[in-house]
Amino acid sequence: MEEIQYAFIDEFGDYCFDFEKGNGSTHFIIVSILLKESNKESLESELVQISQKYFQSGTLDANILDHHPTQTMQLINDLKDLPFSVYAYVIDKRKIREEHGILYKVPFLKYLNRQIYDDLNRTFEQLDFAADEQESKLFIRSFNHYIKTRSIPDLFNYSTFGFNQTRSDILLQLANFITRILATGYESTIYTDQYRSFSKIFKSKIAAVNLLPQDYKNFLFDYQPEHSKYDEIIIKQAVNLTYKYIEKHRKSEDDDERLRLDFLKFLLFNLKENPDEYVYTEEILDNLNAIRDVKLNPHNFRSNIVSKLRDSGLLIASSNKGYKLPVCLNDLYDFVNLSSLTIHPMIQRIAKCRDQILLATNHEIDILEQKEYDYLKRIIDLGKMKI
């Protein structure tokens, strides 16, 4: 049996849809703090020490975000190397109302339960959930009930995917803190420019931030004068192809396919947070390996994850600084330039090898004569014609 993985959940936002009157939040946010059973005790111990360092009460209090931004930066810095990951959902209620006609609490909760359950259940084989089920946290209470109607416990009343009475106050406080951080970057009523600084520090902890409903416009940003008129077309194509791939393969049981989906979700998050920045391979691998027992290495990542996605037609830019979803023509040129550094020398080597054999055999043997090499032969011969 695989090691138990815990998910400590918290929520932010309300269930009001009366935006014109300024009532209620524009977004609803759900955060899961993911950790493995083997790390639970040590993580709790380190969190207690950090909480005692910053708070007289010893409680990890998310209100520090509102009053002490400098201390918040230091606190996030202390948290970033601890053994946990963040898997979150950010729901724009304004778009939910526009696209799905949802205006009230009950249909909204049903929508959330179905979306979150389906995504988590196909992403993780097993999760042991824990949450603070306060009266005000309607989603968490309804989600608990929703899971119980679909998960079958074993003889010991344990569900491999469900709420099993796991408790940890300090880990729930961590979930609440991370939820509030995300809220400062998305919720218009408490938005702060400092979120950019916060997110750069804890980006390595993010397994995925799923933006709902799925819409490429979530990823548009303020264009600079040097950007071309084609940038929005490139973003739209890159994001829509990514969403289509995720939807097509979301029920796959194949381990490599699940890795591809997690990689794409990470690229989507990076596109939202840092659209112009590449992500180094090491950071991507740390992210993908954080929630797995079997570790992915760089070679398998490039050959089985990135290459297969590109073979499927997805737009993934790359440079010596890593990978990203493209937002402009320069990103695509980066990919072409990096690929040409490999493709051109390899073709030149093949051409030289062919020439040597042709010379040695008086043109009786052409190593590119076989039908499957016809395209290489045409490329090489075309290059000679230009010379």
Question: Residue 123 above 50 pLDDT?
Answer: yes
User: Over 70: is that where the pLDDT of 13 sits?
Assistant: yes
**What share of the chain in percent tops pLDDT 90?**
35
Number of domains in the chain: 2
Residues 318 and 353 in one domain: yes
What integer pLDDT is reported at residue 342 of this predicted model?
82
Residue pLDDT, tens place only, 23-34: 788 899 999 999
Residues 154 and 275 in one domain: no
- Ramachandran category for residue 24: left, alpha or beta (phi over 0 → left; psi -120 to 50 → alpha): left
Whole-number pLDDT of residue 95: 85
Whether residues 268 and 225 fall in one domain: yes
Domain boundary (191, 215, 239) is at 215
pLDDT of amino acid 224: 52
Are residue 189 and residue 63 in the same domain, yes or no?
Answer: yes
Mean pLDDT of 30-48: 94
Query: Which alpha helices (DSSP H) does 68-168 contain, by range?
Result: 69-79, 93-100, 105-123, 138-148
55 and 144 both lie in a single domain: yes
379 — pLDDT class (breaks 50, 70, 90): confident
Task: Give the domain-ending residue among 215, 238, 254.
Answer: 215
Instruction: Give burial (CB, 10 Å; 0-12/13-18/19+) of 61.
Output: middle
**Digit-coded pLDDT (tens) for 202-231:** 888 888 899 888 877 777 765 454 566 788
pLDDT given for residue 325 in this prediction: 94
Mean pLDDT of 1-23: 83
What's the pLDDT score for residue 225?
44
Mean pLDDT of the chain: 86
- 375 pLDDT band, cuts 50/70/90, is confident
Pair (225, 181) in one structural domain: no
pLDDT over 90 at 135, yes or no? no
pLDDT value, residue 43:
95
Domain of residue 211, residue span:
5-215
Shared-domain flag, residues 242 and 262: yes
Kindly state the average pLDDT of the residues 175-201: 89
Question: What is each CA distance from 314 to 9, 236, 239, 258, 275, in whole angstroms?
Answer: 32, 12, 9, 16, 17
Q: Around 252, how many Cα atoms within 13 Å sit in the side-chain half-sphere? A: 15
Q: Are residues 172 and 293 in the same domain?
A: no
CATH no. for residue 206? 3.30.420
Statement: residue 111 has pLDDT above 60: yes
Residues pairing with 212 in the sheet: 91
Q: What is the mean pLDDT of residues 189-201?
A: 86
Say yes or no to pLDDT of 189 above 90. Answer: no
Judge whether residue 10 has pLDDT over 50.
yes
Verdict on whether the full-model pTM lies above 0.85:
no
Residues 47 and 185 reside in one and the same domain: yes
Tell me the average pLDDT across 58-87.
90
Q: 165, 191, 215: which is the final residue of a domain?
A: 215
Residues 333 and 294 in one domain: yes
Based on the number of CB atoms within 10 Å of its own CB, is 156 exposed (0-12), middle (13-18) or buried (19 or more)? exposed
CA distance 181 to 74: 14
- Alpha helices (H) in the chain, listed in sequence order: 37-54, 64-67, 69-79, 93-100, 105-123, 138-148, 169-186, 195-202, 231-249, 255-273, 281-289, 298-300, 307-311, 329-360, 374-386
Instruction: Give tens-digit pLDDT for 14-23.
Output: 888 877 777 7
* pLDDT at res. 223: 46
Inform me whether the pLDDT recorded for 51 exceeds 90.
Answer: yes
In terms of domains, do 25 and 173 share one?
Answer: yes
**Same domain flag for 225 and 188:** no
Model pLDDT for residues 227-282, shown as the tens digit of each residue: 667 888 898 999 999 999 998 998 888 889 989 998 998 899 888 888 888 999 99
Across the range 283-303, mean pLDDT stands at 85
